[in-house]
Amino acid sequence: MLPQELIRRKRDGEELSSTQIRRFVAGIADGSIGDGQIGAFAMAVFLNDMSMDECVALTTSIRDSGGTLDWRGLDLPGPVLDKHSTGGVGDLVSLVLGPWIAACGGHVPMISGRGLGHTGGTLDKLESIPGYDITPSNATFRSLVEEVGVAIIGQTGSLATADKRLYGVRDVTATVESIPLIVASILGKKLACGLDALVMDVKVGSGAFMPTPAASRELAEAIVAVAGCAGTPTTALLTDMNQVLASCAGNALEVREAIALLTGEVREGRLFEVSRELACEMLLAGNLADSRAQALDRLDGALRSGAAAERFARMIASLGGPADFLERHDLYLPHAPVTRAVHAPRAGVVQAMDTRALGMAVVELGGGRLQAGAAIDHAVGLSRLAAIGETVDDKRPLALIHARCETDAERASARLREVVTVAPQPVVAPSLIHGVIRPREVRS
């Protein structure tokens, strides 16, 4: 079938066969289908949705449009597991979760991305570490996954090659928000990694990618269903993004907080609890624990023994970072020249915050990109962020601002006072986990 005929059928609300979708995706990958036709297809899907069979066909076609990872030849002693987040502010879970799961017997080939919009990127955080190579050879990547149990790197050009073109066209044709296209983009890349199981972290709230809690749940259910049909058991957690997840936001600052958790300096708080819940689901999905209680016991033991921190240190050193990074990280990570406390206009309790706006404040400080390919400042950001329900006054600030200059610090201070609501009355903080979706709970 000619590409234009396939587009016409989808435009008119007809269902496409798996063969038709596979051939169209192959044309995206090899360049025989132009951007105009890709855009028309994306808009037809946006307007008319896709059936479950179509979603599965689109996802597996993107998965198979490039190379795929096969771990069977290594005879790994544990399952191959991964986690993916829809993105948030102060969301450094990947830095903690990969080594933590590796210390419990899993193997985590985590292929991560850069910051997008108001959300931070795992690769940007890791690049604040001197020497860290986000694009190692395939041999190094496989060796690390086998021997250390974890490697966090950037996407290679050979994986899910159709997705890069399709996403680029969606970005300029107002079709990014289509759930079938989002699902295929996320899972096409993840399932190409040869996983035994996947855990999704789908954000809910003012800093989430999806506009409403209902939309976040719809996305989570679609991901779990499509991944299961494609052969990869997947669980999704709906986690709160009505406030910054960690106590900081900014690349080097978040690396510091990850180390504090891995080394035992921090054993409480939102970041710790969400990371622990995701890790628990990964151990259960990979049959590394028979029960939730056993999973939590294994995870807590891996932190107490220092095994999780040791895996992190080995990964850093093996990918070109300092061999003594764990012990001397504060000497290696960059520091911003200006640090300023920003206080609320009046004492009170933090009622709410516009998390997306806080993420954009970090971007404006230089910690994110205003345009693709721009350089970022790894040192800047926010730390000691007050949480919802916490009292702030002349001693406890809303946050510390880490900036390149006084002008930037002043601008960020004004932004924080605008987007964090403080009032006298107490308030109950939002729940951390809004729901868990497992394959058997998804309606086909």
Whether the predicted pLDDT of 38 surpasses 90: yes
Q: How far apart are CA 193 and CA 188, in angstroms?
A: 9
Task: Write down the catalytic residue from 10, 22, 190, 217.
Answer: 190
Average pLDDT value for residue range 300-307: 96
Q: Which two tokens stand for residue 359?
A: 């993420």
- What pLDDT is stored for residue 119 in this prediction? 72
% of the chain beyond a pLDDT of 70:
97
| pLDDT 10s digits, 100-157 | 999 999 999 998 877 666 777 899 999 999 999 999 998 999 999 999 999 999 877 6
Sequence-separated (6 or more) residues with CB below 8 Å from residue 257: 92, 246, 247, 248, 266, 271
Residues 6 or more apart whose CB falls under 8 angstroms from that of 47 comprise 11
Domains of the chain: 3-48 (1.20.970.10), 72-158+173-328+433-441 (3.40.1030.10), 338-423 (3.90.1170.30)
85 carries an active-site annotation: yes
Report d(CA 300, CA 277) in Å as an integer.
Answer: 12
- Mean pLDDT of all residues in 405-423: 97
Q: Check whether 29 has a pLDDT greater than 70.
A: yes
Closest Cα partner for 72 from 15, 142, 22? Answer: 142
Would you call 81 helix, strand, or coil by DSSP? Answer: strand
**pLDDT value of position 444:** 45
Is residue 189 flagged as an active site residue? Answer: yes
Give the active site residue among 10, 22, 63, 83: 83
Least confident of 35-39, 114-118, 232-236, 279-283: 114-118
- How far is the C-alpha of 313 from the C-alpha of 326, rounded, in Å? 6
Q: Which of 107, 164, 170, 415 is catalytic?
A: 170
Tell the residue number behind the tokens 């795992």, with chain if given: 122
Known catalytic residue at 84:
yes
The conformation of residue 286, written as its DSSP 8-state character, comes to T
Note the pLDDT of residue 155: 74
Could you tell me the two tokens for 340? Answer: 């300023």
Quick check: 181 and 175 in contact, CB under 8 A? yes
**pLDDT for the residue 420:** 97
Catalytic choice (63, 114, 189, 217): 189
The DSSP letter of residue 439 is G
- In DSSP terms, 119 is beta-bridged to 116
> Tokens 């300092």 — which residue?
322
Is residue 203 part of the annotated active site? The answer reads no
Check whether 441 has a pLDDT greater than 90. no
Of the CA atoms within 13 Å of residue 398, those in its CB half-sphere come to 27
| 125 tagged catalytic | no
Amino acid, single-letter form, for residue 136: P
Q: Which two tokens stand for residue 407?
A: 């002008």
Look up residue 222 and give its amino acid.
A
Element holding 221 (H helix, E strand): helix 213-229
The catalytically annotated residue of 59, 85, 94, 178 is: 85
pLDDT in tens, 154-177: 877 688 899 989 988 987 888 888
For tokens 């990280």, the residue is: 329
Q: Which of 64, 82, 196, 408 is catalytic?
A: 82
3-state secondary structure of 40: helix
Taking only the tens place, the pLDDT of each residue in 51-88 is 999 999 999 999 999 989 999 889 999 999 999 998 88
Q: What is the DSSP letter of 413?
A: H
Question: Does residue 68 sit in helix, strand or coil?
Answer: coil
For residue 171, the model assigns a pLDDT of 77
Is 275 noted as a catalytic residue in this protein? no
* 212: DSSP letter: S
Are 113 and 155 within 8 A, CB to CB?
A: yes
How many other C-beta atoms can be found within 10 angstroms of the C-beta atom of residue 440?
Answer: 7
Contact yes or no for 237/277 (Cβ under 8 A): yes
User: Which one of the listed residues 122, 216, 232, 239 is annotated catalytic?
Assistant: 122
